[in-house]
Amino acid sequence: MSSLNASLATALSGLMADQGAMETTTNNVANVNTPGYTREVPVLVTSDPVELGNLTFGTGVTLQSVESIRDPLLESQIQQQTQTENQYNTLASALQQTQLNFTTTGSDIGSEITNFFNSINQLSTDPTDLSVRQGVLTAADNLATSFNTTANNLTQQQQTLDLSVVQTVGQINQLTSQIAQLNAQISGLQNAGQSAGSFVDQRQQAIDQLSSLVDVSVIPTNNTLTLTTSSGAPLVSGNQSFQLTTQTNSAGLHEVYSEGNNITTQITSGQLGGTIEARDQEIPAIENQLDTLAAGIANSVNAVQTTGYDLNGNLATNEPLFNPPPAGTTGAAASLSVAITNPSLIAASSDGTSGSNGNAQAMYALSSQAIIDGQDPTDYYSGVVSNVGNAAANAAAEQTASSQILQQLNDQLSSVSGVSLDEEAANMVQYQNAYQASAQVITTINDMMYAAIQMTTLTG
């Protein structure tokens, strides 16, 4: 009877192990379309044998654990590529918006520069015509307005990006808090010898989302993970998260702090890295070029204007056409404005006579002279437009390339960790057959035990 009990226990172990295996397979099938789900497999091991004299008998099978099939190397590569892809995606989006300020619309800076110098050229043909003179002031005012509008648009975009920095930091803090809580749950389950696969999947999804926002380094530590930025600023350690903060600088823009340290310039990828790059590097560089252009035009035109004579024959020493730009040129584009409103004050004459056009010709000649960093105004502006276009195109190309690489990595991970319905169907048949076989063994042993009991009763 004792040997039948042992056989019954062995068959029962198979029944229970195969039931657990079928439950694992069923769970895989149920989550085939669940984002972030990682395929699980049952780990079956032989139970410890027993020795009777010189003989060793097996005692069945044990469902030791249920493990998620993961590829840490691929997951790390996906995190890195996610950071790069979102950095360039954010940067490309910002530069494409910036580029809208430099499309040819008839009222863009390039068109207004051409219109302004054409109006001066027209003035040189008839310097006494007040309507032509008024046309010069109108063209000058349109040019100043175009500079003002473009500069203000860039400032508004910079402020929008600054708001995005604050919002992204808030999202980062939410995710790091979530990851810290998941670390605690995973550690508790694994220390108790239980499966934490679903929580590990949730943590991995949270890390992927975090990677899309900021550059992240993941360091495995026991049953938890430690997360830092690529520069080493702490984000998560075990069940503790470290909150990032923002503080405004002298320019009114928010900088990112970790544990009291300014890490703004150290954030290089993810959505936050792309936003900071656009806000602190790309847009200021464009603003600086526009300031240089606006100041160069204003100072050069004023230099010619103040050496000529107005329609009344007066030397225009104190009558600049444009209000002088700020020293150092910073803010010149945003503040550019026309200084005179009386068209007769335009100094077209070079000798004081009303019919003279020498000064108007000298002013028109500025349009083809290297007055802006060794270039004429039109060529310099064309360079600004080209730089903006190239930067936007390069960022878009990098984003496309990164997106393709990321898709390839995700496909590779899916082939490793994803659920295949065909494979799970085959597993289900395998475990079901094994379950039925164990059940048949139990039925047979039960019949044998019943027969033995009946024989004992009859002989007794």
Statement to judge: residues 95 and 222 lie in one domain: yes
Burial 184-218 (b: 16+ CB within 10 A, else e): bbbbebbeeeeebbbbbbbbbbbbbbbbbbbbbbb
pLDDT digits (tens, 9 = 90+) for 27-75: 889 988 888 888 888 888 888 888 777 777 778 888 888 888 888 889 8
- Given a cut of 70, whether residue 226 has pLDDT beyond it is yes
Distance CA(49)–CA(13), nearest Å, equals: 13
Question: pLDDT-based confidence at 211, cuts 50/70/90?
Answer: very high
Is residue 289 in a domain?
A: yes
- Given a cut of 60, whether residue 207 has pLDDT beyond it is yes
Question: What amino acid occupies position 258?
Answer: S
Is residue 268 in a domain?
A: yes
At residue 380, the 3 state secondary structure works out as helix
- Given a cut of 80, whether residue 5 has pLDDT beyond it is no
Give the model's pLDDT for residue 445: 81
* Average pLDDT in the chain: 91
pLDDT digits (tens, 9 = 90+) for 253-281: 999 999 999 999 999 999 999 999 999 99
- Given a cut of 90, whether residue 106 has pLDDT beyond it is no
Statement to judge: residues 23 and 106 lie in one domain: no
Q: Give the structural domain span for 232.
A: 77-407
Statement to judge: residues 322 and 446 lie in one domain: no
Is residue 353 in a domain?
A: yes
- Given a cut of 90, whether residue 190 has pLDDT beyond it is no
Q: What letter does residue 338 receive in the DSSP assignment?
A: B
User: Comparing 247 with 418, which gets the higher pLDDT?
Assistant: 247
Q: Is the dihedral of CA 120, 126, 130, 135 positive or negative?
A: negative
pLDDT exceeding 70 applies to what percent of the chain? 99
Pairing of strands 61-68, 216-221: unpaired
Distance CA(359)–CA(246), nearest Å, equals: 54
Q: Where are the alpha helices (DSSP H) in 100-129?
A: 109-125
Mean pLDDT of 370-392: 95
Q: Is the dihedral of CA 54, 59, 65, 70 positive or negative?
A: positive
- Given a cut of 80, whether residue 244 has pLDDT beyond it is yes
Statement to judge: residues 383 and 429 lie in one domain: no
Least confident stretch, 167-171, 214-218, 256-260, 456-460:
456-460
Statement to judge: residues 48 and 110 lie in one domain: no
In the block, residue with structure tokens 């830092």: 228
pLDDT digits (tens, 9 = 90+) for 109-145: 999 999 999 999 999 999 999 999 999 999 999 999 9
Is residue 416 in a domain?
A: no
- Is 409 in contact with 398 (CB distance < 8 Å)? no
Q: In sequence order, what E strands does 14-172 have?
A: 40-46, 50-52, 55-57, 61-68
Is residue 261 in a domain?
A: yes
Mean pLDDT of 177-205: 89
- Given a cut of 60, whether residue 460 has pLDDT beyond it is no
In the block, residue with structure tokens 């656009």: 278
Domain boundary among 382, 407, 432: 407
Give the model's pLDDT for residue 28: 85
Statement to judge: residues 123 and 246 lie in one domain: yes
Statement to judge: residues 15 and 127 lie in one domain: no
Statement to judge: residues 123 and 153 lie in one domain: yes
pLDDT exceeding 90 applies to what percent of the chain? 66
Going by C-beta distance under 8 Å and a sequence separation of 6 or more, which residues neighbour residue 241?
173, 176, 177, 179, 180, 235
Mean pLDDT of 20-27: 88
Is residue 415 in a domain?
A: no
Give the model's pLDDT for residue 459: 66
Statement to judge: residues 284 and 320 lie in one domain: yes
Tokens of 252: 């009114």
Q: Is the dihedral of CA 337, 343, 347, 348 positive or negative?
A: positive
Count Cα atoms within 13 angstroms, Cβ side, for 127.
26
Is residue 413 in a domain?
A: no
Model-level pTM? 0.86
The count of structural domains within the chain is 2
Statement to judge: residues 55 and 133 lie in one domain: no
Statement to judge: residues 118 and 188 lie in one domain: yes
Is residue 17 in a domain?
A: yes
Statement to judge: residues 155 and 99 lie in one domain: yes
Least confident stretch, 13-22, 360-369, 435-444, 445-454:
445-454
Give the model's pLDDT for residue 1: 43
Distance CA(116)–CA(137), nearest Å, equals: 9
Mean pLDDT of 88-94: 95
Give the model's pLDDT for residue 224: 86
pLDDT digits (tens, 9 = 90+) for 319-376: 999 999 998 899 999 999 999 999 999 999 999 998 899 999 999 999 999 999 999 9
Going by C-beta distance under 8 Å and a sequence separation of 6 or more, which residues neighbour residue 329?
288, 291, 292, 294, 295
Mean pLDDT of 145-163: 96
